[in-house]
């Protein structure tokens, strides 16, 4: 979820990098950006969140979902006025550390199924 102030420019930037035409999914799913595909594209623009001192590049499966039955390929980011949150799907296979003493957040890719 991204706060409205971040969500609007995020969606605009995402649309400018994805060279596919989104479809209207009103009443079907709660995601704003969905594409009708036979299978997920093998090449897709990277999604990188830039923080002070770090960039977080998410794997495709952490921000896009594909439903084989409907053929919908959707961005799993929604608008949330007043709050931004990275959920459990975005943080899968990531080590995330909250250092309360230094007021820092750090993260690194991980193979959680191998731990």
Question: Which of 58, 53, 52, 47 minimizes the C-alpha distance to 94?
Answer: 58
65 within 8 A of 74, measured Cβ to Cβ: yes
Domain ranges of the chain: 4-85
Run means of pLDDT, 10 residues per run, the chain, 115 residues: 94 92 87 93 89 87 93 94 88 87 86 84
pTM for this model (two decimals): 0.83
């Amino acid at each position: 979820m991204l706060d409205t102030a971040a969500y609007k420019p995020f969606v605009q930037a995402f649309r400018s990098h994805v060279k596919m035409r989104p479809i209207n999914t009103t009443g079907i799913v709660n995601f704003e950006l969905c594409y009708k595909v036979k299978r997920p594209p093998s090449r897709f623009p990277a999604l990188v969140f830039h923080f002070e001192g770090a960039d977080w590049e998410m794997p495709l499966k952490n921000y896009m979902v594909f439903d084989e039955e409907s053929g919908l390929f959707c961005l799993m980011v929604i608008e949330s006025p007043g709050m931004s949150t990275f959920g459990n799907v975005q943080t899968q296979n990531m080590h995330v550390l909250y250092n309360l003493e230094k007021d820092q957040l750090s993260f690194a890719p991980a193979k959680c199924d191998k731990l």
